[in-house]
Chain A
Amino acid sequence: MQYDQNVLTRTERRIFALRTLYSRAGYRSYRMRKFEDYDLYSRNKDFLLSDRVITFTDTNGKLKALKPDVTLSIVKNIEDTPDALNRLFYDENVYRVSGRTGTFREIMQMGLECIGDAGNAVAAEVIDLAEQSLALVAEDYDYILRVSDVDMLTLLVDGMSDSGQVRSRLLSLVSAKNLHGIESLCAENDIPEEKCRTLTDLLKVYGTPPEVMPEIEEICRGTEAEAEIEELADVLRGLYPEGGAKADRKIVLDFSIVGDTNYYNGMAFEGYIDGVPECVLVGGRYDKLMRRMKKKSRAIGFAIYMDTLGMLGRNAGDRAIENFYDR
């Protein structure tokens, strides 16, 4: 029987396209077939987008949860193989509190994880697939993948203050690109001017890696972040091989991406599509989560929020108001 693609909804078509992309790239489908103990999520609350979880008591009296996230389950259930690499993808419904409605929602999420011997070349592969995923789901809209290195940011911020409260305020100002706020917080806490300037200079950087890497190296020279530059440069070499191939990637470096440093380290990235006001793809390296779960493997992956993608083409902004008074 021939299948007619027109019977698929937009979301199903996107999932179909992404599954094809990941399968062809050598990834295998992972399916969650059971409920996790609530304990898994309560121990790793900060890893979740929201700490609220729907729970129920199973027939044996154990407290279970409807999954708010897939990565934690994969990490928990997969065999620890630090010398081999597991390439996985999933599409699953997750249950969490929506930032928009403040109530629990069933959300379709698609994601990809590389767990095991996941070094810099694997990071480049995952970032490449994240960019290709955006290209597939963005239809005719423009898209961009913002890439950062959270270790560089963490090293700089850790070197600025011994106070956890000040460091946490600094990170929240970083995520808002709030340079004036960083300057006043530094002044209030007697943080040396040159440390403050390094952070604000790094935050001002926004551009394609070939354009801005020399500037980043210059800003970080002699600072705490210098030790991490080589890792970023190595991942970028995988994405931009010598000879200018793939120079037209839609990737920008932007250090305002902030993740929970108890879980994330190294590369972090976020995907945006023109006309969708929120981030549609989030990813990064989470070796620290692996250590918390007593695993030796390294790991990097990303998730795509299919519900957020539903805003594509429906949003306000330019397309809504253009020529309003000429109609």
Chain B
Amino acid sequence: MGTIINVALPKGRLGEKVYKMFEAAGYGCEDIFNGRKLVFENKDAGVRYFWVKPSDVPIYVERGAADVGACGRDILLEYEPNVYELKDLGTGICRMVVAAPKGFKDDGEYPLRVATKFVNIAQDYYSSKGRDIDIIKLNGSIEIAPILGLSDVIVDLVETGNTLRANDLEVYEEIMDISTRLITNKSGYNFKSAAINRLLERI
């Protein structure tokens, strides 16, 4: 049997987009959207897919359960997995921003209260600016934090800005551009380098 590349795809719209890229490159798999199965393979194309929670993709890859995975730059910067980041897939494009209620000004007098899911990214950003912060780790509905006075600002992903506008928030500072990256396991790459490089060329 030839080499099979195990691919961890993030569940949801982004993962489906990434799968379409793989399919167009000749790595299609007939029953991939079959709701009951968890693992899908096309031995002729040399590929096997599984859907996992987006933030778990780097864990599957770092620990070698998947050879290759697709995940956002935000997740890579937040968890800093020890993997190769071989390609920018140019999809899932959005921005990591600091957002605040309209008209907010940071006067620097007290530590800035920052609500976010992305604790590392927020800490790195403010540490590079030398600004003292009080970090508030939330797991969802971040936009509500400044409305309720829980935080001064939020650090979050913004795609269209509609959610911010609907909650009377605006982008206060841009931190970085985000897109989806193709990652591989540092050990697995050595034993499947030909197959992985072929995949990279085709996508």
Please give the residue numbers on chain A whose beta carbons come within 8 Å of chain B beta carbons, in ascending order: 99, 142, 144, 146, 176-181, 206, 252, 256, 272-279, 315-318, 320-321, 324-325
Contacts and interface: CB of A to CB of B under 8 A. Distances in A.
Interface string B79-92: 00011111110000
Interface in B76-124: 82-88
Nearest to B128: A165
Contacts of A272: 186-187, 190-191
Interface string B10-49: 0000000000000000000000000001010000000010
A201 to B, nearest CB: 15
7 contacts: A177-B85, A180-B88, A276-B187, A277-B62, A315-B64, A317-B66, A318-B4
A325 B62 CA distance: 25
B191 to A, nearest CB: 5
A275 to B, nearest CB: 7
B151 interface: no
Contacts of B66: 317
Interface string B188-199: 101101000000
A325 to B, nearest CB: 7
Nearest to A250: B190
Interface of B: 4, 6, 37, 39, 48, 62-67, 82-88, 185-188, 190-191, 193
Nearest to B66: A317
- The main secondary structure of chain B at its interface with chain A is mixed
Given A176-B85, A272-B190, A324 B4 contact: no
B191 A142 contact: yes
B191 A321 contact: no
Contact of A176 (B48, B65, B83): B83
B87 A279 contact: no
Nearest to B183: A176
A143 to B, nearest CB: 9
A317 B65 contact: yes
A197 B55 CA distance: 32
| Residue among B86, B87, B190 with the highest chain A CB neighbour number at 10 A | B190
Given A176-B83, A180-B87, A279 B63 contact: no
A273 B64 CA distance: 12
A223 B63 CA distance: 37
Contact of A256 (B6, B39, B65, B84): B84
| Residue among A144, A177, A273, A277 with the highest chain B CB neighbour number at 10 A | A277
A56 B193 CA distance: 47
A277 B187 contact: yes
Contacts of B48: 321
Contacts of A99: 82
Contact of A279 (B88, B187, B193): B187
Contacts of A180: 87-88
Contacts of B82: 99, 278
